[in-house]
Amino acid sequence: MHSVFDARRFLIPFRSSLLPQIFTDTLVIGGGVAGLRAAISAAQHGEVIVLAKGDFKHTNTAWAQGGVATVLDPADTIESHVQDTLVAGADACDESIVRLVVEQGPRRIEEMFSWGMRVDRDQGGRVMLGREGGHAAHRIIHAGGDATGAEVQRVLLERVKQTAGIRVFANCFALDLITPNDSEGSPVMGAITHHPKFGLQMIWARSTILAAGGSGVLFRETTNPPQATADGLAMAYRAGATLADMAYMQFHPTTLYLAGASRSLITEAIRGAGAYLLDEAKNRFMIGVHPMAELAPRDIVSQAIVRQLARQGGGKVYLDCRHIAGINERFLGFAELLQKFDLNAQTDLIPIHPAAHYMVGGVKTDASARTNVPGLLAAGEVASTGLHGANRLASNSLLEGLVFGAIAGEAAADGWNGARSLPRPGPVSIVSDIRPSDRGELDLTDVRSSLRSAMWKNVGIERTGAKLQGVAEMIDFWGRYTLDKIFDEPFGWETQNMLLVGAVMARAALWREESRGCHLRLDFPNRRPEFAKQDIWGKSRKVSG
């Protein structure tokens, strides 16, 4: 077990007895695919509160485009999906978890259909199945061409609203998980939250499901929405949970790369439909790099783009869809995005660049979504279940959110001591005493943007020991005068969370002296069997090993 600087237990000072108290059976932190699906299952066993720090439409889930991978075609097999996932994961997946998710996938998708999910179908009403990088078969269900995530979010949110016993709190920021004390094994009993209107509140629960999503905002270039600031990972770490595989951040190869445009993702399904990647001289450069050419796994394509840019001394690389009939009609969101910049995929080359996309590592869980901390479960992008190994296969994450969301919701029926009969925790007296720092004011925006630039340059697609060592020391330094401050609004708390998780990521990438999956070390270019195991991270004073 490794650790980084000793983060204090709570972000803010408080006395629990002086705050408003709310009680429930299950608290779900996060309102994306994993959190909403978890809430629906947990509601079968008791009352649920599900909260999101913004509104329930702004999630990574709602931004997902390409689709959900699952075996629906009679010509496809579970075994083929399992093998594709294992190959993408670069010998680092937990095969039993891969089988569990792939096997349960079709059932979870049929359930979504029964709840009203509308997906693209052919004229005979058969579900149309797309193909994406790393998949040997057509098995990606999609909605509105490239608006699958929004449909998943809509259906689950509707279902949550129709399910008795679920309370939905929007704009409710979870600062920290609450434990009665800071000793190892102390159970999580809910969270301390902040709402702009109601202020700080203690939410007590028998079980807490962390489904707070990803960490893309840690990097200057990212496909993620602004709320993906790694809060879930940071609060879990502070509560004593183990984080695993933190070196593995997946970079998406194709985001729109235009001055002034946000780094909008261009879905892999477009390469699945036959789009090419061209270099500055307009030649396809993926041929010869990988047998699947443009449909190689994402890490291979992202790394090839970076190498191509270096070879041609900068400049641009392009996505070429000009030969694909009806491209604008098939991918409406893509066409609309391009239109804003006076581009047309049918006639123009599209400049693209990789960007941070998916946090593969996360809070370590078992097959029941349980973490090492009693009472704390985790699901979705915040979790490290072992499904993805060292790299996520395209469209496996919405699937994982559905499968593990349901598993976590079921497991939440058992309280933190494993007993269904466990009463709700009463208000426990918790005192967080933090003295205000005497180190003066900070320009928080500057700290955040410096961190994001440093992460992109040094913990990005191509890494070296020297750069990682440098950035780890730099983050430690920024951490010393930022983590001792007390902030009273989300921007400050998020920045503190980003520093903590950035420190873990940089150290994990430094420790992993090999290249595997989405982790590329130029100074250790090969896979090394001694690093096949997970690297795990936790608070130093509570653990050993």
Ligand X SMILES: Cc1cc2nc3c(=O)[nH]c(=O)nc-3n(C[C@H](O)[C@H](O)[C@H](O)COP(=O)(O)OP(=O)(O)OC[C@H]3O[C@@H](n4cnc5c(N)ncnc54)[C@H](O)[C@@H]3O)c2cc1C
Q: Which are the catalytic amino acids?
A: 298
Site for ligand X in 476-505 (CB under 6 A): none
Residue (of 381, 400, 59) closest to 210 by Cα position:
381
- 66 to 105: interface string for ligand X, x by CB under 6 A: xxx-------------------------------------
DSSP 218: G
First to last CA, the chain: 6
Residue 190 sits in the site that holds ligand X (CB under 6 A): no
Tell me which of 53, 131, 154, 521 binds ligand X, using CB under 6 A.
53
Distance of alpha carbon 191 from alpha carbon 178, whole angstroms: 5
- Chain positions 194 to 213 lying near ligand X, rule: CB under 6 A, are 211-213
Distance of closest approach, residue 438 Cβ to ligand X, in angstroms = 28
Instruction: Name the 3-class secondary structure at 84.
Output: helix
**Selected range binding ligand X among 89-97, 302-310, 396-404, 535-543, rule: CB under 6 A:** 396-404
Residues 6+ apart with CB under 8 A from 535: 2, 244, 245, 246, 247, 508, 511, 512
In DSSP notation, 392-419 reads PPTTHHHHHHHHHHHHHHHHTTS-TTS-
Among 16, 26, 207, 223, binds ligand X (CB under 6 A): 223
215 binds ligand X (CB under 6 A): no
Contacts with 494 (C-beta within 8 Å, 6 or more apart), sequence order: 229, 231, 448
Core vs surface per residue 226-265: b (16+ CB within 10 A) or e: ebbbbbbbbbbbbbbbbbbbbbbbbbbbbbbbbeeeebbb
Q: If binding is defined by CB under 6 A, does position 297 make contact with ligand X?
A: no
11 binds ligand X (CB under 6 A): no
Minimum distance, C-beta of residue 381 to ligand X, in the bound complex (Å) = 4
Q: Does 35 bind ligand X (CB under 6 A)?
A: yes
Which of 231, 514 has the CB closer to ligand X?
A: 231
Query: In the set 43, 51, 360, 377, which binds ligand X (CB under 6 A)?
Result: 51
How is residue 359 written in tokens? Answer: 């946090």
Neighbours of 17 (CB within 10 A): 12
Name the minimum Å distance from CB 11 to ligand X. 10
Is 29 a binder of ligand X (CB under 6 A)? yes
Least distance CB 470 / ligand X (angstroms): 28
Residue nearest ligand X, CB atom distance: 32
Closest to ligand X by CB, 365 or 515:
365
257 binds ligand X (CB under 6 A): no
CB of 543 to ligand X, least distance (A): 24
Measured CA to CA, the distance from residue 91 to residue 533 in angstroms comes to 10
d(CA 508, CA 533): 12
Number of H helices, E strands in the chain: 14, 20
Residue 381 interacting with ligand X (CB under 6 A): yes
**30 makes contact with ligand X (CB under 6 A):** yes
C-beta of 55 vs 73, nearer to ligand X:
55
Q: How far is the CB of 310 from ligand X (least distance, A)?
A: 26
> What mask, x for binding ligand X by CB under 6 A, covers residues 120 to 149?
----------------------------xx
Under rule CB under 6 A, residue 251 binds ligand X: no
Q: x/- contact string, 328-347, with ligand X (CB under 6 A)?
A: --------------------
Cα separation, 495 vs 363, in Å, equals 19
Tokens 């694909």 found at: 324
Q: Any contact of residue 54 with ligand X (CB under 6 A)?
A: yes
- Residue 52 makes contact with ligand X by CB under 6 A: yes
| Sole window of 49-57, 303-311, 312-320, 409-417 interacting with ligand X (rule: CB under 6 A) | 49-57
Return the closest-CA partner of residue 455 out of 512, 509, 515, 535: 509
φ, ψ of residue 362 in degrees (nearest 5) = 165, -160
98, amino acid identity: V
Nearer Cβ to ligand X (145/531): 145
Closest Cα to residue 387, out of 140, 83, 99? 99
**Contact between 234 and ligand X per CB under 6 A:** no
Contact call for residue 41 and ligand X (CB under 6 A): no
CB crowding 162-194: b at 16 or more within 10 Å, else e: ebebbebbebbbbbbbbbeebeeebbbbbbbbb
32 binds ligand X (CB under 6 A): yes
| Whole-number Å distance between alpha carbons of 131 and 67 | 10
* Span near ligand X by CB under 6 A; candidates 9-17, 28-36, 367-375, 467-475: 28-36
Length, in residues, of the chain: 545
Told to check if 380 binds ligand X by CB under 6 A, we report yes
# residues near ligand X by CB under 6 A: 43
- Of 39-47, 65-73, 77-85, 195-203, the window that binds ligand X (rule: CB under 6 A) is 65-73
CB-based contact 178:54 (threshold 8 Å) = no
358: three-class secondary structure by DSSP: strand
Residue whose CB is less far from ligand X, 65 or 308: 65
- Interface ranges with ligand X (CB under 6 A): 29-35, 51-54, 59-61, 63-68, 148-149, 173-174, 211-214, 223-224, 227, 231-232, 265, 358, 380-382, 395-398, 401
